[in-house]
């Protein structure tokens, strides 16, 4: 229920802001607005503000909205009101009305990011977990437990890394741009220790998928290798593991953090004999209340996404250390604008790479994934939900600015042609372009929906 409510609230806010952008600029340009609707289909609620000519309504299908303006191309217009019609306005006014919707979504994102920056958000500290075996991070000499103090792209000045999420964002940008990232590492006392370079330029652009961070080798922040809740009747309980046990070694391998502990347990499914169902017990050395203890643990094999993994039936790893990231009034607003610009640019780059085949179409997401993330972010708190809302708002703004005929960007493309040639697009070409735009949009929606179902089923 929370997922559905969060999804509907998300759509309602984003659609209302988008359409209000069109409406507000249309009114400012002296255009008569006949109807403002959030959702399509039969209206379930309609009202009119005192002294206004616009009917406001909420439709039954909350998957979009529209602003209907007086227009001679849609219906006859009283000569006395012809100056109020959209089609009679100068080119700059028509372009401003069309562009106002996507820009309203981008401005909303700036404000949402700014509110989060002002209020402060709890994020994991930028302490690195043990790197994935064979990854770029491992080959760069990272071992786990390092504190990232600063980061920068090639030939740029090092900037302070405020949290692990800040680091993750920089790594995402570097991977998609093919740019190496320099990390300045330090110790718990704040002293600088060394600098390493992650050669993200070696990553193929097609690697920008769900497994991106495993290929880089930095999956999550450092966590203590502690056993959490133990399920009754589980392998962990039978082996004698208890909540609070700190794992020091498994066999001959020293355990650095929770990430390495999870990977070591999972990888036991690939140990000799595991494929025949004869799991070899692992020799664990743990600390319990400061006292060393030796245990034998035999993980059980489970199939997950057609891959055999080993499980022990206990929560593995303590929560990471958190820091509060907060900005002042001007800094918070500026950082909100910067993040909106960066996310917009990254979205366009990803779309471009998918078009030319350099990135997987699996990155496209549809309403099911949005609904899923809306519910998850809502359970994490209002700041997480605001960040999610800002991200989707940016995506909606950028998507609508694409030069597809059925989108706002397509209409702006028509106006660009009119500005260059001095004449509008002919009705015949308009019809062809509209049909092509619908076909492309339906194709994108179909792929996104297929990806949604595949993620949920998988």
Instruction: Kindly list the distances between the CA atom of residue 301 and the CA atoms of 34, 48, 190, 265, 314, in Å, as whole numbers in the listed order.
Output: 63, 63, 43, 10, 14
Query: For the residues of 31-52, what is the DSSP string, one character each?
Result: PPEEEEEEEEEEEEEEEE-TT-
Q: Are 359 and 349 in contact (CB under 8 A)?
A: no
Six-digit token string for 134: 């064979």
CA dihedral angle for residue 237, residue 243, residue 248, residue 254, rounded to 10 degrees: 70
Task: State how far the Cα of 8 lies from the Cα of 371, in Å rounded to an integer.
Answer: 8
Q: Which residues contact 357 (CB under 8 A, 6 or more apart)?
A: none
Question: How far is Cα 371 from Cα 455, in angstroms, rounded to an integer?
Answer: 13
User: Quick one: 402 exposed, middle or buried, by C-beta within 10 A (0-12, 13-18, 19+)?
Assistant: buried
**What is the DSSP secondary-structure string of 386-409?**
HHHHHHHHHHHHHHHTSS-TTSHH
- What is the Cα–Cα distance from 104 to 111, expressed in whole angstroms? 11
- Of 401, 339, 392, nearest to 370 by C-alpha is 392
Diameter of the chain measured on Cα atoms: 92
- Give the integer Cα–Cα distance in Å for 20 and 33: 11
Question: Torsions phi, psi of 263, nearest 5?
Answer: -65, -40
First to last CA, the chain: 22
C-alpha angle with apex 6: 317 to 101, nearest 5 degrees?
A: 120
**Closest to 226 (Cα-Cα) out of 127, 145, 128, 314:** 314
Look up residue 180 and give its two tokens.
């190496």
The structure tokens listed for 183 are 């990390």
Reference 208, options 343, 390, 346; nearest CA is 346
Residue 19 annotated among the catalytic residues of the structure: yes
* Residues known to be catalytic: 19
């Amino acid at each position: 229920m929370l997922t559905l409510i969060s999804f509907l609230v998300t759509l309602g806010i984003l659609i209302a802001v988008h359409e209000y952008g069109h409406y507000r600029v249309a009114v400012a340009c002296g255009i008569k607005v006949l109807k403002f609707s959030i959702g399509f289909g039969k209206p379930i609620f309609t009202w009119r503000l005192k002294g206004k000519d616009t009917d406001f309504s909420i439709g039954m299908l909350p998957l979009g909205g529209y602003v209907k303006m007086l227009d001679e191309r849609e219906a006859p217009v009283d000569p006395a009101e012809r100056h109020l019609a959209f089609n009679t306005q100068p080119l700059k006014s028509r372009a401003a009305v069309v562009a106002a919707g996507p820009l309203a979504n981008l401005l909303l994102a700036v404000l949402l990011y700014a509110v989060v920056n002002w209020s402060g958000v709890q994020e994991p500290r930028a302490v690195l977990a043990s790197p994935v075996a064979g990854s770029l991070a491992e080959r760069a000499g990272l071992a786990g437990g390092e504190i990232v103090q600063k980061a920068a792209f090639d030939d740029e000045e090092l900037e302070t890394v405020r949290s692990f999420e800040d680091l993750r964002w920089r790594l995402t940008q570097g991977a998609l741009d093919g740019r190496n990232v320099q990390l300045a590492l330090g110790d718990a006392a704040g002293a600088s220790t060394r600098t390493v370079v992650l050669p993200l330029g070696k990553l193929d652009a097609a690697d920008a998928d769900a497994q991106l961070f495993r290929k880089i080798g930095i999956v999550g922040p450092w966590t203590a290798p502690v056993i959490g809740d133990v399920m009754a009747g589980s392998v962990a309980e039978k082996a004698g593991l208890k909540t609070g046990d700190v794992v020091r070694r498994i066999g001959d391998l020293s355990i650095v953090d929770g990430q390495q502990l999870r990977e070591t347990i999972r990888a036991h499914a690939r140990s000799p004999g595991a494929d025949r169902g004869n799991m070899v017990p692992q020799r664990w050395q743990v600390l319990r209340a400061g006292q060393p203890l030796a245990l034998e643990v035999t993980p059980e094999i489970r199939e997950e996404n057609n891959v055999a993994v080993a499980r022990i039936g206990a929560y593995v790893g303590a929560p990471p250390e958190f820091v509060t990231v907060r900005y002042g009034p001007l800094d918070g607003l500026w950082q909100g604008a910067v993040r909106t610009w960066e996310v917009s640019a990254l979205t366009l780059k990803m779309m471009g790479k998918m078009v030319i085949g350099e990135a997987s179409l699996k990155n496209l997401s549809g309403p099911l994934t949005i609904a899923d993330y809306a519910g998850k972010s809502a359970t994490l708190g209002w700041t997480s939900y605001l960040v999610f809302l800002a991200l989707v708002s940016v995506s909606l703004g950028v998507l609508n600015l694409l030069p597809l005929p059925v989108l706002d960007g397509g209409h702006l493309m028509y106006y660009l042609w009119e500005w260059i040639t001095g004449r509008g697009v002919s009705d015949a070409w308009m019809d062809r372009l509209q049909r092509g735009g619908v076909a492309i949009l339906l194709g994108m929606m179909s792929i996104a929906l297929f990806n949604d179902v595949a993620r949920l089923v998988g």
